[in-house]
Amino acid sequence: MRQYGPWRFLVLLVALLLLLVVQPLVQGFTSHRPVFEALHSLVLIAAILSLSAGRWPSKAALILGVPALLGRWLAYMLASHGDDAVVLTDHLVEIIFLGFVATTILRTILTQGRISTDSIFGAICAYLILGMAWGSLYAVVEVMQPGSFQATGELAAALQAAETRGPTLVYYSFVTLTTMGYGDITPVAPAARTLAWLEAMTGQFYIAVLVAALVGIRVSRGPTNRGPDTQS
């Protein structure tokens, strides 16, 4: 763990990129769900390990992360039965866990008093995790109130199928978080619209506040040591 600790956020970032970037590019959103679930589980495990530096964060990560991991596979195995209660429980537990992970990572970065390469990786991880958590929020809304989102083309069918709804709403989440707004998926229910503008605002504030905080940490450390040739 001593060797893993300094690069724990890099490992988490690699897992996130495999899930959110590599997997969709190679296989698409509407197929190979076992691969998606396996990579999703890898992200959850990496997230648990990323909080292993402190005693209470590591315990909290296990308490929240293990149920999220088990619930993920339980929902996958029972997907064909159409049990909305299991799906909702899985998403709610995952939202709590991902929110805790993102908050703890940001707290770690902003309180450690220095900026390292792994701190930058951690900031990126927290941003991506927020997008995943919001995707789960959208899934909860869609399960509780079907038709909360309207889509065009193949995405409309993807939203209706339980096995593809989650990945599709994760895609919509990142489109909203980055305020790109393609328009291929549109929130129509009041709860969906409210979550959408809250996420867009969160994405903008995240970048602005985090950059300001990192600059503040950098400035508070004072100027870097200058070499002999630059000293008077």
Amino acid at 65: G
49 membership: H or E segment, kind and range: helix 33-50
Give the CATH number for residue 12.
Answer: 1.10.287.70
DSSP 52: -
| Predicted confidence (pLDDT) at residue 208 exceeds the cutoff of 90 | no
Q: How many domains does the chain have?
A: 1
| Full-model pTM | 0.86
User: What pLDDT, on a 0 to 100 scale, did the predictor assign at position 111?
Assistant: 83
Q: Looking at the predicted structure, is the pLDDT value of residue 222 above 60? A: no
Q: What percent of the chain lies above the pLDDT cut of 70?
A: 87
Least confident of 9-18, 47-56, 81-90, 162-171: 81-90
What is the residue range of 115's domain?
5-221
* 24 vs 18: CA distance, rounded Å: 9
Residue from 178, 171, 172, 82 nearest 127 by CA: 178
Residue 227 domain flag:
no
Domain annotation covers residue 232: no
Asked whether residue 189 is domain-assigned, the answer is yes
- pLDDT at residue 79 tops 80: no
pLDDT in the model for residue 231? 43
Is 215 domain-assigned? yes
Tell me the average pLDDT across 97-118: 87
Q: Is the pLDDT of residue 159 over 70?
A: yes
| Plot region of 147 (φ>0 → left; ψ -120 to 50 → alpha; else → beta) | left
- Letter for the amino acid at 214? L
Q: Which uninterrupted H or E stretch holds 199?
A: helix 190-220
The Cα–Cα gap between 32 and 22 comes to 13
Indicate whether 85 pLDDT > 90: no
Residue 4: per-residue pLDDT: 63
* Any domain includes 199: yes
Q: Is residue 123 part of a domain?
A: yes
In a domain, 230, yes or no: no
